[in-house]
Chain A
Amino acid sequence: MPDKKTIRVQIYRSPSHDVEDDARGGKYKEYEIPYEDRMTILRVLDCIFQYYDRSLAYYKSCRIGKCTGCLVSVDGKNKLACCTLVEDGMRLGPAEGFKIIRDLVVADSHTK
């Protein structure tokens, strides 16, 4: 039986797809997407990227809570997107304490 329930999240979007977002000059945009059983924040981002907006930038690697690359700010607190269950109305932004590249992708301290 298809699950008709939907979920809304707000996601930080940078102003341009062509230049880095040096000044945190973006805005939060709301998305409403179908809810999936035990949906994590990473699954939400995957779903938005694949079906709603291919320009969304976010980082993922291991998907199992080990590489820590998918760290994002969830209502102001840094959490791993892959292991955190989504809740309706969550506000997702780039991880706090890092320089932004674009949307949810931040520059690691090792990056030149």
Chain B
Amino acid sequence: MLAEPKVIETDVLVIGSGGAGSRAAIEVARNGLAVLITTKGVSGKSGDTPSADMDINVPSRDAKEIFGLDGDIMDTPDSFAQDIFQAGKYMNNEEVVLTLCTNASKYVKELIDWGMDITGLTQGPGHKFPRGIASTGRSMMSALKRGMRQCKIDLAEYTMVTNLLTRNGRVVGAVGINIRSGDLLVIRAKAVILATGGAMRLYPLVTAAEELTGDGMFIAYQAGAELVDMEFPMFLPACVYWPESMKGVIFPYVFSTVVGGWWLNRFGERFIEKWDPTRMERDTTRDIAAIAQSMEISRKRGGQHGGIFVSFKHIPDEIMEYSARVCPWWPNFIYGQFNLLEFDMDPRKVAYEAGPAAHYWNGGVKVNGKGETSVPGLYAAGEVQGGTQGANRLAGNGVAECLVFGALAGSSAAAYVKDAPEPDIDGAQVDMYCEQICRPLSQKTGSDVFEFRKRIQDTASDYIGPIRDKHGLVSCIGEIEKLNDEAVHQTIKNKGKVFNSEWVLALENEVMLRILEIVTRASLLRKESRGALYRTDYPDTDNKDWLKNIIITNRNGQVSLETKPVVTSRLQLPKPEKVPYLGSSKRRFT
């Protein structure tokens, strides 16, 4: 017997309280509509925005003319877009990219007016001009909070949305749980904006926050929306693998780019020499670095905790100490709030065991330049959206995307709501989802929720990391089929109502399992290597046959894939030929 869900009404539901969700809600409220933000955690203390060490890209000319920074007037939105397209290995959606490049400055300006601190202008790898306005996620969230206080926005914290409600192909609301009270919720809404971020938690080694389990992509897929570029999760190289308490922290990578760390295998070799000998550790790109590190690890050339080694011991102490004094990232060897000396992580004394960790979700829910998905009434903004980053994200684009598409999705949803019918909720659909949500509370035998999560994450780590091949991907499908049978029988020990984290884990596991399947099937279909995906059985980038996106839809509960050629009118495509992934046929990852 199920408890009756509580019903909440709003015009627009925004799922997620980070940069994209906050900005979207502001835009909806400015249009005089009711807006509700839900978040699994606490606004400002959850999602990936608060923890970002970030640059926000704007065209370099605007950096100079609008922001008074040392930008270059030769840059234009089109040349910025071409850099994004090249970094994304030509998988990006042209309309989405051009929208980002022409609108970024406007929304960054607004944040500065709300008090965001900026500390300078950077030129990240892959950028022809300096475009990165440097700030921090915390400062950006404070600015957005100031913007939100000028509007009427309702907030439901500790709230997980588990499914979207649809009627005649339109989105009419959502169901979920209030984690704080244990109540089931039905949210009646004329439109829904997804701002839930990526699905990096699918992997055991991850730089992202706890909440990032792919919820938005899953519920959109379940409601019939198209997903795109799901085969390209992005990995950041050189993240901590040990100690357990610091797993996924990114400082060895950050320090490597600042002072030039060496990445060594267990024989003490600087293995990047084999694959990117001119650029080496400091200047190689993140995709190549992650693949190189994975290759060393998979060939048993790593250490006991599964990583490679990052060492700064070739650098004199005086240089490290100078850097720790002047570099804003690690004053006095304190990174974030971690005192590296207290944690026996003094870079003058120890080599760190480190390696790739899931960092960003390049693909996601397919949107157009207005933030609209393929389902009426459903919008996506920020990391959950697909199309902006293609096969690899250019540094500084994550936050820019949140701001621009947060605002645009908000404005598109507001326009849609003005003519949308009253949401007509299908009671049978509500009952079905509520029963699924409550299943773990009554399940008596089956897989333990933690063991189940570990199996999902280990499967992701084994088969869909930075390097993949047909054999592994086929094995992965076999594992997924076993997990599918068990997913509905997950058991939890705690049946309490208030803040039952075990229940949330069980619900997230079902989401993660579906994302695992989608990534695996898309990776198997793509018979080439491109950007964040390297297939050892297809080591070239195939610009002849694979300048195509893979579009994923839910066809009666089955993952359906189709390819669509990339078409552009302003952005320049590469020559239609196969090219070696590392640029030269002499170099192959082995």
Contact = CB atoms under 8 A, between A and B. Distances in A.
A5 to B, nearest CB: 15
A68 B500 CA distance: 21
B437 to A, nearest CB: 17
B440 to A, nearest CB: 12
Given A64-B337, A110-B42, 13 more contacts: A61-B46, A61-B210, A61-B211, A62-B51, A63-B248, A64-B51, A64-B338, A67-B46, A67-B50, A67-B51, A69-B41, A82-B245, A83-B337
A39 B337 CA distance: 15
A110 B155 contact: yes
A100 B51 CA distance: 25
Interface in B121-170: 137-138, 155, 157-158
Contact of B498 (A19, A38, A60, A65): A19
A111 B42 contact: yes
B363 interface: no
B42 A54 contact: no
Nearest to B141: A67
B343 A38 contact: yes
B41 A54 contact: no
B494 A17 contact: yes
B258 interface: no
Given A18-B498, A39-B245, A101-B180, A85 B44 contact: no
B244 interface: yes
Nearest to A110: B43
6 contacts: A18-B182, A18-B498, A38-B244, A43-B244, A63-B248, A69-B41
Contacts of A61: 41-42, 45-47, 50-51, 209-211
6 shortest interchain CB distances as A-B pairs: A17-B496, A65-B337, A69-B45, A66-B51, A62-B51, A83-B337
B419 interface: no
Nearest to B492: A54
A31 interface: no
Contact of A20 (B338, B339, B498): B498
B450 interface: yes
Contacts of B343: 38, 85
- Size category of the binding interface on chain A: 35 or more
A70 B345 CA distance: 22
A69 B494 contact: no
Nearest to A69: B45
Given A65-B336, A66-B137, A108-B42, A36 B493 contact: no
B338 A65 contact: yes
B98 interface: no
- Size category of the binding interface on chain B: 35 or more
B494 A55 contact: yes
Chain B interface SS verdict (over half)? loop
A107 B275 CA distance: 51
Contacts of A50: 450
A38 B496 contact: no
A62 B209 contact: yes
A74 B187 CA distance: 39
A38 B494 contact: no
A61 B494 CA distance: 21
B42 A69 contact: yes
A13 to B, nearest CB: 12
A112 interface: yes
B95 to A, nearest CB: 33
A78 interface: no
Contacts of A103: 499
A111 B209 contact: no
Contacts of B155: 110-112
B46 A18 contact: no
B497 to A, nearest CB: 5
A103 B495 CA distance: 16
Given A64-B336, A102-B498, A108-B157, A38 B44 contact: no
B107 to A, nearest CB: 23
Contacts of A83: 336-339
A6 interface: no
A63 B42 contact: no
B251 to A, nearest CB: 9
B493 A38 contact: no
B344 interface: yes
Nearest to A70: B45
B41 A36 contact: no
Contact of A105 (B209, B337, B338, B499): B499
Interface string A27-51: 0000000001111101100000110
B372 interface: no
Interface string A1-30: 000000000000000111110000000000
A59 B50 CA distance: 15
B342 interface: yes
A49 to B, nearest CB: 7
Contacts of B496: 16-18, 55
A38 B243 contact: yes
B498 A59 contact: no
A57 B494 CA distance: 11
B501 interface: yes
Contact of B244 (A37, A67, A80): A37
B498 A17 contact: yes
Nearest to A56: B501
A18 B497 contact: yes
B395 interface: no
A38 B157 contact: no
B43 A63 contact: no
B319 interface: no
A67 B245 contact: no
Of the listed residues B211, B344, B493, B494, the one surrounded by the most CB atoms of chain A closer than 10 A to its CB is B494
B249 interface: yes
Given A66-B51, A66-B137, A108-B157, A40 B245 contact: yes
Interface in B29-70: 41-48, 50-51
B94 interface: no
A101 B242 CA distance: 33
Interface in B491-524: 492-502
Nearest to B450: A50
A31 to B, nearest CB: 16
Contacts of A65: 336-338
